[in-house]
Amino acid sequence: MSAATLSFLPSPVDLARQLAEADPGPDMIAMLGLLDPASMSADDRLYVVQAWERVCAWAAAQAQAAVAAFSVRGSRSRPPALTWVSMRSTRIR
C-alpha cells in the first residue's frame, strides 16, 4: 500500500485527540490499543490518558449495572445498559 492510499487515516496524534472525546466502548478500546504513547509528545500523551480514563469510567459503570442486576428481585429481566450519555446525565445520590 502506498502512502497515498493511507492518507485518509488520521495521524496517531489526531486519533488520540479524537478518542479523548469519543464515546467509550469496545471500538474505542481497540483503537487506543493501536497507539504508542511513548512515540508522542507529553502533551499528546495526555489525550491518550484522557481517553483511557473515559474507558475506565465506562467499564466501571458497566460493572455497576451488572451488580445492580442482583437487586432486581423476582425478575429475570436485564436492567437497561448504561450509555456514556446516560452516565453523564445521571447524578449519584
37-88 pLDDT per residue, tens? 999 999 999 999 999 999 999 999 999 998 888 877 655 666 666 666 555 5
Question: CA distances (Å), 13 to each of 34, 38, 42, 53, 92, in order?
Answer: 12, 12, 11, 17, 34
Residue 32 near residue 48, CB atoms below 8 Å: yes
**pLDDT digits over 2-44, tens only?**
445 456 668 888 999 999 999 999 999 999 999 999 999 999 9
Distance CA 71, CA 24 (A): 26
Specify the residue for cell string 507529553: 42
